[in-house]
Amino acid sequence: MSPSEAAVTHRISDLLGASVAARDGREIGHVNDLRLAPGQAVRGVHVELVVEGLIVSDRHAGSMLGYDRRAEQGPWLVRAVVRRLHRNARYLPWSAVDDMAWTDRRITVDADKLMPL
């Protein structure tokens, strides 16, 4: 079933790479990924997936390849390179998003809510 005519839809690609700024206009970085969490509703046989937060990085350095998930994931050399590239990456809960300018692909957030991955 398609969303109703009134429903506002977007694409993940509208968010990936979008610039992230603090309330005072300070540039923080770009959206590197979106974390999805199971919601309370079930769509078909699978729970719905809700955007729970953003992974924000200060550079376009590509995917983190999952190296933010497990501390000892190898190979260690790849782990070291990926972590070096994304050393300033942070997690931001969706509740800290103040404004989404979809056309400009710019997100204003409460920077105090940024937390380590």
Q: Which residues bind another protein (CB under 8 A)?
A: 1-3, 7-16, 32-40, 43-52, 55, 63-66, 93-95
Nearer Cβ to another protein, position 26 or 75?
75
Nearer Cβ to another protein, position 27 or 38?
38
Q: How far is the CB of 53 from another protein (least distance, A)?
A: 9
Burial class (CB in 10 A: 0-12, 13-18, 19+), 93: middle
From residue 8, alpha-carbon distances to 3, 18, 54, 70 in Å are 8, 19, 20, 36
